[in-house]
Amino acid sequence: MAKRDFYEVLGVSKGASEDEIKKAYRKMALQFHPDKNPGNKEAEDKFKEAAAAYDVLSNKEKKQRYDQFGHAGMGGAAGGGAGGFGGMNMDDIFSQFGDIFGGFGGGNRGGRRVNRGANIRIKVTLTLEEIATGVEKKIKVNKLIACETCTGTGAEAGSAHDTCNTCRGSGHVTRVQNTILGQMQSTALCPTCSGEGKIIKNKCKKCSGEGVVRGESVIPINIPAGVQEGMQLQVSGMGNAGARGGVNGDLLIVIEEKEHEVLSRDGNDLHYDLFVNFADAALGAEAIVPALGGKVKIKIEPGTHAGKILRLKHKGLPNVSYHETGDLLVNINVWTPQKLSSEEKKLMEKLRESENFIPSPGKKDKGFFARMKEMFE
């Protein structure tokens, strides 16, 4: 079944502000909350669908990709998994959107605490070539994973969890105190079960009842083209596993750029310093310059001055958020030899006396800023 447009799901326009999106989601979350609609599968599906829409539209980077590519641009990021909102469970939603539910309580379900695994942050180094095209990488991550012996429950095989007698499974206890203003009632997490509403009678020996153990996972990640140094990508649910069947944390990927041998980056543009000799600058020539897609032949016009910048359109890097590609800027440098042979010196002496080699005050060369302005125009 085709997914509905996320803006349509929340009933907001594409230009809606963050507050408008949050307000629309809160309204739907309260309307279709499972505690208000027990056993209503349709309400639960709408609740999940709204959560998936809010997950994307409330995140600036995800929203930009969605506005550009729609659901196809989300990959595994939309709705907490490749399955979209259909792949989410209720614990995922309660943990991720705790600030929205107000009285329902973030990280709790029906008053019970839901354990959430910690996020993991790693650095991934990319070459300019990988950034230009986008790349899929498989990374090995040392993290907490669900215990195979107890399948993450924390209880020995064949044993079950017992309902906490202190809170009777609610996860919280209520205390009433007599004060000069009358009776005051307060609610707190149950000290016996730490808010989970259940206790383990026989703990798993391998994980000591935690439901998680240290292990390694190989995680495939798709990095879009055009990412930049310091940019952070999020892969939902690929962080540390939550204790005793809780919600997984996220994997946060911080981008690092590997320095290129000859090209330098400025935003989406690339720069290359080309050195030419006096003869080529004066007479004109052809030159081969490196680019990310392969070498490119350029023409040097006769009379080219040092400092001239040649722009090769769309030979730079793509923008990660919208359809635009930067340029390759070739900076012309005239090479001055440090040592000359006697024959070369004689030739240069003759040229120095030539009228055409004497700078003319009436023909001022354009300054650096003028050349830069001309380049961008």
Condensed to tens digits (0 to 9), the pLDDT of residues 298-327 reads 999 999 999 999 999 999 999 887 778 999
Q: How confident is the model at residue 82 (pLDDT cuts 50, 70, 90)?
A: very low
When mean pLDDT is compared over 11-25, 122-136, 154-168, the highest value belongs to 122-136
Pairing of strands 251-257, 232-235: antiparallel
Q: What is the pLDDT of residues 238-294, one digit of tens each?
A: 999 999 888 899 999 999 999 999 999 999 999 999 999 989 999 999 999 999 989
| DSSP for 48-88, written as a single string | HHHHHHHHHHTSHHHHHHHHHHGGGGTTT-GGGSTTGGGG-
Q: How confident is the model at residue 192 (pLDDT cuts 50, 70, 90)?
A: confident
pLDDT of res. 83: 37
Instruction: Say how many Å lie between the first and final Cα of the chain, rounded.
Output: 49
For 125, counting Cβ atoms within 10 Å of its Cβ (0-12 exposed, 13-18 middle, 19+ buried), the class is exposed
Q: What is the pLDDT of residues 3-49, one digit of tens each?
A: 788 988 999 988 889 889 998 998 888 888 776 777 788 888 888 89
Average pLDDT over residues 171-181: 79
CB 250 within 8 A of CB 233: no
pLDDT of res. 71: 74
Which single residue is written with the structure tokens 């005051």?
A: 184
Average pLDDT over residues 131-143: 94
Residue 144's beta-bridge partner residues?
214
CB 57 within 8 A of CB 66: yes
Q: How far apart are CA 131 and CA 136, in angstroms?
A: 11
Lowest-confidence segment of 118-127, 156-165, 199-208, 261-270 by average pLDDT: 156-165
> Who has greater pLDDT, 240 or 362?
240
Residue 145's beta-bridge partner residues?
213
pLDDT of res. 80: 41
Give Cα 252 to chain centroid, integer Å. Answer: 7
Q: How confident is the model at residue 131 (pLDDT cuts 50, 70, 90)?
A: very high
111: pLDDT strictly greater than 70: no
Q: State whether residue 346 is helix, strand or coil.
A: helix
pLDDT of res. 321: 77
Which single residue is written with the structure tokens 């209720």?
A: 90
In 3D, which of 242, 335, 325 has the Cα closest to residue 282?
Answer: 335
Q: How far apart are CA 44 and CA 107, in angstroms?
A: 18
Q: How confident is the model at residue 86 (pLDDT cuts 50, 70, 90)?
A: very low
Average pLDDT over residues 58-67: 85
The H or E element spanning position 344 is helix 342-353
Average pLDDT over the chain, rounded to whole? 82
In 3D, which of 273, 264, 369, 275 has the Cα closest to residue 316?
Answer: 264
Q: pTM to 2 decimals?
A: 0.59
pLDDT of res. 324: 87
Question: Cα torsion for 349, 353, 354, 358, to the nearest 10°?
Answer: 110
